[in-house]
Amino acid sequence: MKNKIFLAIVFLFITSGFTPLAARQQGDRFAFKEDIFVASDEIQDNVIAFGAKIIIEGKVREDVFALGGTVTISGEVGNAVVGIGSKVILKPTAVIRKDVVVLGGTLEKELGCQVEGDTVYFKSSEISVKFLKESFKGIFSLSLLPIILIIKFVSIFIWFLLTFLVASLFPKPITLASTQIRNSFWATFGLGFLAIILYTGFTIISAFLCFLLIGIPILLSLILAGFIVKIFGRVVLFYFFGESLAQAFNTRKVSVIGASLLGLLLVSLIGFIPFIGFFFSLVLSIIGWGAVIRTKFGTTENWFARQ
């Protein structure tokens, strides 16, 4: 059930023109339920697949991303390998220049393979589901819990997809915006709080204007703008938390994609905590809005500074 819902959403993204920009560039491979094979004498820029089998014997300059299916690598990947609900196999000759992230699937690292970055591996199991049921016991009825968990996990999978795409396309803006959260936290928080209040007010006014028809395009524009700000701001926060967590345990540099996915995992785990998760998400929204507006989507340190 969960997989069917998510694949339907992915299909809507693809048919609506939201196919990842990286997959449209020359030298990239994108597939939906279609196997991808990179031969030993072949070079690709990125490989992105949904529910497919990926075999890399040659070289991928940047990233390999898989949702479901299997990934077998005996060649070289210049950046990260990310598998969500996938089986990832690293052969003895495999060389991964940065990170390997496997969530909800399996990871097999054969003797001799090289991973120069970080390895993040979380395998889904019945034990984790049982733990979540016990955690929610007494707050939600068990009859509703499976539905709640399905919604939660589908939401996390969608955020994984969006985070990977945004972090791949805009690594430098994300890094700059994250730095401003650390350097000017309260200014960012205050600006985000004010921005959300104004946005809510304009949205309510536009909704009333819909009765006069003139408010319909305004309301749709506000919804689209809010959607874009929310996605970019949340990915900036994922990177902020992921990088901070990586620095706390390891001094090595983590890629923008690896740090963002690690931060998403941390934020998602906190989101499972009743009540606390809700308020935590609210605070993240405020900070995210502030970071996006203050840095103008990561293009400047302070948009409102006097020139």
* Average pLDDT estimate for 180-197: 86
Percent of residues, the chain, with pLDDT higher than 90: 14
**Full residue range of the structural domain in which residue 79 is found:** 2-122
- 138 and 116 in a common domain: no
- 141 and 273 in a common domain: yes
* Average pLDDT estimate for 60-79: 89
* Average pLDDT taken over every residue of the chain: 77
How far is residue 7's CA from residue 14's CA, in Å, rounded to a whole number? Answer: 10
How far is residue 225's CA from residue 283's CA, in Å, rounded to a whole number? Answer: 19
Last residue of a domain, one of 122, 157, 187: 122
Q: Which residue has the higher pLDDT, 232 or 122?
A: 232
Domain membership flag for residue 302? no
Number of domains in the chain: 2
User: E-strand spans in the chain?
Assistant: 29-32, 36-38, 43-44, 47-50, 53-56, 59-60, 64-67, 70-73, 76-77, 81-84, 87-90, 95-96, 100-103, 106-109, 114-115, 119-122
- Residue reference for tokens 């785990």: 269
How far is residue 272's CA from residue 31's CA, in Å, rounded to a whole number? Answer: 32
Q: Where are the alpha helices (DSSP H) in 100-184?
A: 126-136, 145-169, 171-183
* Average pLDDT estimate for 290-304: 85
- 118 and 151 in a common domain: no
Domain membership flag for residue 305? no
Confidence of residue 55 (pLDDT cuts 50, 70, 90): very high
Instruction: Report CA-CA distances (Å) from 296 to 42, 163, 173, 187.
Output: 39, 19, 9, 14
Structure tokens at 53: 């089998």
**Contacts (Cβ under 8 Å, ≥6 apart) of 91:** 72, 73, 74, 110, 113
pLDDT in tens, 14-32: 333 333 333 333 456 766 6
Q: What pLDDT, on the 0 to 100 scale, is given for residue 149?
A: 65
Last residue of a domain, one of 122, 148, 181: 122
pLDDT in tens, 241-266: 888 877 776 556 677 888 888 888 88
- 97 and 148 in a common domain: no
Q: What pLDDT, on the 0 to 100 scale, is given for residue 95?
A: 94
Domain membership flag for residue 304? no
Region of poorest pLDDT, from 22-36, 67-81, 124-138 = 124-138
Instruction: Report CA-CA distances (Å) from 172 to 87, 178, 239, 288.
Output: 30, 10, 11, 16
Last residue of a domain, one of 100, 122, 144: 122
- 98 and 135 in a common domain: no
Q: Quick check: 129 pLDDT over 60?
A: no
